[in-house]
A = this chain, B = another copy of it.
Amino acid sequence: MNIALVGAGNLATNIGKAFVRARHSVVQVFSRTESSARDLASALGCSYTVSVEDVVDDADLYVIALKDSALGDVAGRLVQGREKCLFVHTAGSIDMDVIPALRRGVLYPMQTFSKAREVDFQAIPCFVEASQATDAALLKSLASEISSKVYELNSENRKFLHLSAVFCCNFANHCFRIGEKLLNEHGGVPFDVMLPLIDETARKLHALSPGEAQTGPAVRWDENVIGMQLGLLSDKPDLQHIYELLSKSIHDDKL
């Protein structure tokens, strides 16, 4: 397929490379930031543009990988004059219908992308949806070439999937960040000491469900330790509040 890539951020970079590895052609990269557009186009061996008007109008597929807030506006302008083309976005939490085209869809690769890290796209679950059955089949087939786990999921359920990912990734990572802060302030132990614990916490889930894997004072409802640890956070009311709510939620989960 001839694919136009709209966006040049972390996700666009990773999915563009995956398309090329699967022997599809990325024919053009669009980004308002010229340096990003140029860098990605050069990595993918194609042309680039910084103006929506100059985006090619004969691509088989337009993949819009922009931040959520820019999606509606750019999609609206892209569709004009390209009414018969197929457009997909890559956002977990945005409705397919944000694209005002007859042939619209979603290809959401669920992963946390950072520019500096290349990820193994084959291992990333991809969720597809389309307004027309033939396009759904086409997207499923395309996604299967870049990922070994492809699911069809409608917009409503995808929103919950993305919310689940926010908890599993962003919020879990923030727990790591809080742990790092507490460590930095007391005893000068480097954060590296937490990595075996964090690795095992993730690895466990390949054998146990998160409920089965839970340990610690909250699941034991050890009120001495919980009270003592709340005391350690007395100068940090925000963290104290987070500690309290999560402990209670762990406890309630067992009732």
Enumerate chain A interface residues (CB-CB to B < 8 A): 67-69, 93, 110-114, 116-117, 119, 123-125, 149, 151, 153-154, 156-180, 182-183, 185-187, 189, 191, 193-211, 213-220, 222, 224-225, 228-229, 232-233, 238-239, 241-243, 245-246, 248-250, 252-253
Contacts and interface: CB of A to CB of B under 8 A. Distances in A.
B193 A151 contact: yes
Contacts of A250: 170, 174, 177
A127 to B, nearest CB: 8
A152 to B, nearest CB: 10
B112 A197 contact: yes
Contacts of A246: 170-171, 174, 242
Given A166-B216, A187-B153, A215-B170, A93 B225 contact: yes
B111 A200 contact: yes
B242 A249 contact: yes
A198 B167 CA distance: 10
Contact of A242 (B111, B238, B245): B245
Given A182-B167, A200-B111, A222-B69, A241 B245 contact: yes
A199 B110 CA distance: 12
Given A179-B164, A189-B151, A199-B202, A220 B67 contact: yes
Given A112-B197, A177-B253, A242-B242, 4 more contacts: A68-B217, A68-B225, A123-B196, A174-B210
A92 B115 CA distance: 37
10 contacts: A67-B220, A68-B225, A93-B228, A111-B200, A112-B213, A161-B186, A161-B189, A174-B246, A175-B175, A179-B210
Given A175-B168, A215-B113, A245-B238, A186 B198 contact: no
A170 to B, nearest CB: 4
Nearest to A242: B245
Contact of A191 (B162, B176, B201, B209): B209
A174 B166 CA distance: 13
